[in-house]
Amino acid sequence: MALIEVENLCKTYHTTAVPVHALSHVSLRFEKGEFTAIVGPSGSGKTTFLNLVGGLDKPTEGRITVNGILLADLKGSQLVEYRLHHIGFVFQAYNLIPVFSALENVEFIMLLQGVGKKERQQRAIELLQAVGLGDRIHNRPGELSGGQQQRVAVARALASRPEFVLADEPTANLDSHSADELLTLMENLNKEFNMTFIFSTHDARVIRRARRVITLQDGKVADDRIQSQS
């Protein structure tokens, strides 16, 4: 059984006079342990796809199944629990809590999960050190650059040790060195814990490291290929 199975997925937005078909009849399977990049031009449906798989939005048509569970069957608190315990999110807008320090932002998901104070603080510090922010753990988001906030967001997504991570342009605000370090961290987690990563990206650095590359064009799958790893 696939970890994630998407069947005939469609999403249409009616916010303008002309309906916008963000996704049109997309069917894909993701096995546990994948390290996959979803690519395509702006407006191709990459972010919409991640939002639907993450349960942040509902499809107009189609089915999304995760570990045999149909997302449409999860209601209210069930959907919240699903996201909390199974998914790590990395958003383009970071979505950090402005009054929390970097450490508190990374700890927050673990707090909601009921992880003890000592364990969650230790794990948060280790992750912030791993993304190069060991000296900024007590800084709030407003005291950090865009790239530093992005790294806090990635550390937060990984802290809960989710089954899979949905990352929307995770290296967009990082220099080459920071991006490579971050991707190496994700690769290590992928190999050590068989953690699944699905990225939307324009970044050639991410695409090079991905083992599978899916291309979306006008809301449809234009290509789906496995890459050989050098």
**Tens digits of per-residue pLDDT, 40-61?**
998 899 999 999 999 999 999 9
* C-alpha torsion sign, points 153, 180, 184, 170: positive
Q: Tens of pLDDT along 94-115?
A: 889 999 999 999 999 999 999 9
Non-local CB neighbours of 210 within 8 Å, separated by 6+ positions? 35, 36, 37, 199, 227
- Which pTM does this prediction carry? 0.90
State the residue for tokens 């970890």.
Answer: 3
The predicted structure's pLDDT at residue 215: 98
The predicted structure's pLDDT at residue 230: 60
Q: What angle do CA 188, 153, 208 make, to 5 degrees?
A: 45
The secondary structure of residue 122, as a DSSP letter, is H
pLDDT confidence band for 142 (50 / 70 / 90): very high
Count of C-beta atoms within a 10 Å radius of residue 224: 14
Q: Which residue has the higher pLDDT, 14 or 34?
A: 34
Domains of the chain: 33-58+75-226 (3.40.50.300)
Longest dimension (CA), the chain: 53
